[in-house]
C-alpha cells in the first residue's frame, strides 16, 4: 500500500484491503475495489466501500470506467482518504487513480500516471490505459468550469 503524495490517495492490492487494521491505522476512510476476479474485500463498518469490478485490459464498458474515475474524483473532492485497489495493484488501480487525479487537478493522464509511478511499481495494460484515457476525455468534456479543485 502506497500513498500518492500530496493527495489523500493510496494504491494497493487485494491483500492490503483485507488488512483492516493497516487500512485504519493509515487513516483511510474509503475503499474503491476494482478487482472483478476477487471476492469482495472484508468490509469494516467504519469504511466506505465502493466496488466497481473492472477487467484488466479491454472489455470494460465506457460507463463503468467513467463511474470508477468519477467515484475516485468524488472521494478526492470530499477529502476522504481513499485506498484504490485491484488484484495486484499494478494496472487497474494506477490507471483509474491517474485518470481521477487528472480530472481533479486539470493535469494530463500521462503526467498523473508518471506521478503515481514515482510512489511504486506499475504495469498498466495498454488496452485498459487507452480505454481509461477515453473515459477521462469524455468526463473532461462534460466538466463544468470550477468543478476541479486540488
**Cα 53 to the center of its chain, rounded Å:** 12
Q: What is the mean pLDDT of residues 34-56?
A: 90
100-139 as b/e, with b when 16 or more CB fall inside 10 Å?
Answer: bbbbbbebebeebbebbeeebebebbeebbebbbebbeeb
Q: What is the pLDDT of residue 150?
A: 46
Q: What is the pLDDT of residue 144?
A: 60
pLDDT at 116 over 50: yes
- 57 and 127 in contact (C-beta within 8 Å)? yes
Question: Which residues touch 88 (CB under 8 Å, ≥6 apart)?
Answer: 13
Name residue, grid cell 475516485.
Answer: 72
Q: Which domains, ranges and CATH numbers included, belong to the chain? A: 2-142 (3.90.190.10)
Q: What is the pLDDT of residue 143?
A: 76
**Cα 149 to the center of its chain, rounded Å:** 17
What predicted TM-score, i.e. pTM, was given to this entire model? 0.93
Amino acid at each position: 500500500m502506497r500513498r500518492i503524495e500530496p493527495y489523500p490517495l493510496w494504491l494497493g492490492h487485494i491483500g492490503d484491503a483485507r488488512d483492516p487494521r493497516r487500512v485504519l491505522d493509515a487513516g483511510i476512510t474509503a475503499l474503491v475495489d476494482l478487482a472483478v476476479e476477487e471476492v469482495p474485500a472484508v468490509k469494516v463498518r467504519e469504511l466506505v466501500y465502493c466496488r466497481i469490478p473492472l477487467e484488466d485490459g479491454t472489455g470494460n464498458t465506457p460507463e463503468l470506467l467513467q463511474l470508477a474515475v468519477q467515484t475516485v474524483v468524488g472521494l478526492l473532492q470530499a477529502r476522504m482518504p481513499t485506498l484504490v485497489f485491484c488484484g495486484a495493484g499494478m494496472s487497474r488501480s494506477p490507471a483509474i487513480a491517474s485518470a481521477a487525479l487528472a480530472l481533479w487537478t486539470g493535469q494530463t493522464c500521462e503526467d498523473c500516471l508518471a506521478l503515481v509511478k514515482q510512489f511504486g511499481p506499475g504495469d498498466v495494460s495498454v488496452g485498459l490505459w487507452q480505454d481509461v484515457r477515453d473515459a477521462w476525455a469524455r468526463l473532461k468534456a462534460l466538466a463544468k468550469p470550477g468543478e476541479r479543485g486540488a
